[in-house]
Structure 1
């Protein structure tokens, strides 16, 4: 359904965007990094159509809301409208509906359009994180396969067909595609992958592999060196993450366990003596502690590397 929708949109707006290839170079590159099997002009056509439909729906919702609750009562005063506008206030509903509808449509259109433009960037960033996490283990796999005498092409094909390594396997599927379908050589295929992958870590690895192949070196030795390097860096990152997690844990205990308990005790004693409002106690129990705990959960969840 999505392909049909974007194809329909391309039939309407495709010619307009096809002439702006250079203007959307970054978008085209981000679509490649995100491995979205869609051309930039088709994607932009779907973006424009969705923005138009969204703005129309927002206009209908605005009109329905106005008809349901009515128009605010405007009076001609010095703070709102000059006195000469008084005779025209009988048309307030019509004017308010037009101006409000235009504003709502414009805002919704811009928001949807910008979100579509940001989506490939956000998804490519997410893929970069997943690739960086799995790359040390994928390189270790390649090192083991290379040590067993497997040829580089077969090695990359095996990695591409192994779903355990997630987005790394997805990246190497494109390398295998260049080798088997497009008929490129190994060096060119690795160069193409290094130019389109969102991970700078994988780019560095591929550039090193290209240098080794073109200089007549052994990939097995290179894989072993990179395996040791990445595993050591991975252990260092995990150590730093645990230290940060410990610091956050201490901060949480201080700010949302010990601190609120102290305030609860103090406020309870003061309320018994008649010198404190219970509203502060309710705010601590029902607002500060739950909201703070949720914020910490979200923070730790965003910092925790996915495996």
Structure 2
């Protein structure tokens, strides 16, 4: 049993890297371990549930920046030598954009890579906030059956339907079962690394209840009811906002383009010599403005949609 636990612990500590990340770590690993961004990126990848060492991720970001800069140099070479050799002459004004391409592309690749953990953490936060009321119902039901908190979090960790809450519960149970950490410390660690303020408040309340000898079953039920009421209120507000968006959609995306197309068509028939520009406007409305408007409304509604 001890050997098995040691194997599991070793497997948890050894965070796997892809082949590309391994190459990045071999090249930049030593320098990355001395980076001033270690603390920031460690916090970010924990919140994002990315199983990569901080120095390995920084090395990965540096390598992406270097590759972006090399791509920028290749772009300059193509612009200055390859295209003229093929008889393609581009305006010299484009040199203002082409010359700084290595710096711009490299910096963009580096910054995008460093922003990925925070983006994933925000996505996890939204998923945790959406599924937390239902996960608390599960914990309350387990507490009603007389199950200990450790086994309750273990059972929650085996329920993938709860999304990122299930991963948070898995981390809590991992700390208790593999690292032999007491439940209060495991919960405190979970509160420090979670991206969700709601889940953090719930964990801190659970710590207070446990240390003060309170009734966890009542606490779970109370928080479940509180979050369910808040969830219903959020869904009601979303439906009201969705009604406003539906009216805006009909006005902006359906009625306005039809009115514009009819108006341009009439003006092109009445006027003289403006058929080419009128046709260009209709093409822009049909193939650029309308798809972008549809996409914009879809993205806004998708980002606002709460968990039902």
TM-score bracket, normalised by the shorter chain, equals 0.7 to 0.9
1-structure distance, mates of 2:20, 2:264: 60
Tell me how far 1:271 sits from its aligned partner: 4.6
Question: Alpha-carbon deviations, 1:113-143, whole Å to 9, x = none?
Answer: 1111111111111111111111110001111
1-structure distance, mates of 2:285, 2:53: 53
Residue 26 (str. 1) matches residue 40 (str. 2): yes
Residue matched to 2:132: 135
- Selected match of 2:74 from 60, 66, 69: 60
2-structure distance, mates of 1:64, 1:269: 47
Residue matched to 2:19: 4
Residues 242, 3 of structure 1: alpha-carbon distance in 2 compared, 3 angstrom cutoff = same
1-structure distance, mates of 2:290, 2:18: 46
Tell me how far 1:213 sits from its aligned partner: 0.5
Residue matched to 1:175: 172
Q: 2:139–2:220: 8 Å Cα contact kept in structure 1?
A: yes
Residue matched to 2:8: none
Residue matched to 1:289: 290
Tell me how far 1:289 sits from its aligned partner: 3.4
Residues 121, 290 of structure 1: alpha-carbon distance in 2 compared, 3 angstrom cutoff = closer
Residues 5, 268 of structure 1: alpha-carbon distance in 2 compared, 3 angstrom cutoff = closer
Root-mean-square deviation (Å): 2.6
Residues 72, 245 of structure 1: alpha-carbon distance in 2 compared, 3 angstrom cutoff = closer
1-structure distance, mates of 2:71, 2:295: 34
1-structure distance, mates of 2:98, 2:260: 47
Residues 258, 66 of structure 1: alpha-carbon distance in 2 compared, 3 angstrom cutoff = same
2-structure distance, mates of 1:156, 1:67: 63
Tell me how far 1:212 sits from its aligned partner: 0.5
Residue 106 (str. 1) matches residue 73 (str. 2): no
Residue 261 (str. 1) matches residue 292 (str. 2): no
- Structure 2 matches for 1:176-255, cutoff 5 A? 176-255=173-252
Residues 282, 5 of structure 1: alpha-carbon distance in 2 compared, 3 angstrom cutoff = closer
TM-score by length of 2: 0.83
Tell me how far 1:188 sits from its aligned partner: 0.7
Residue matched to 1:91: none
Tell me how far 1:273 sits from its aligned partner: 4.0
| Secondary structure in 1 matching 2:18 | helix
Residue matched to 1:303: 304
Residues 282, 2 of structure 1: alpha-carbon distance in 2 compared, 3 angstrom cutoff = same
2-structure distance, mates of 1:190, 1:6: 31
Question: Alpha-carbon deviations, 1:216-239, whole Å to 9, x = none?
Answer: 001000011011101110000001
| Secondary structure in 2 matching 1:299 | helix
Q: Report the number of matched residues.
A: 283
Shifted more, 269-278 versus 284-293: the winner is: 269-278
Residues 25, 262 of structure 1: alpha-carbon distance in 2 compared, 3 angstrom cutoff = same
TM-score by length of 1: 0.83
Q: 2:234–2:306: 8 Å Cα contact kept in structure 1?
A: no
1-structure distance, mates of 2:227, 2:214: 20
2-structure distance, mates of 1:298, 1:17: 37
2-structure distance, mates of 1:110, 1:73: 26
Residue matched to 1:13: 28
2-structure distance, mates of 1:266, 1:229: 54
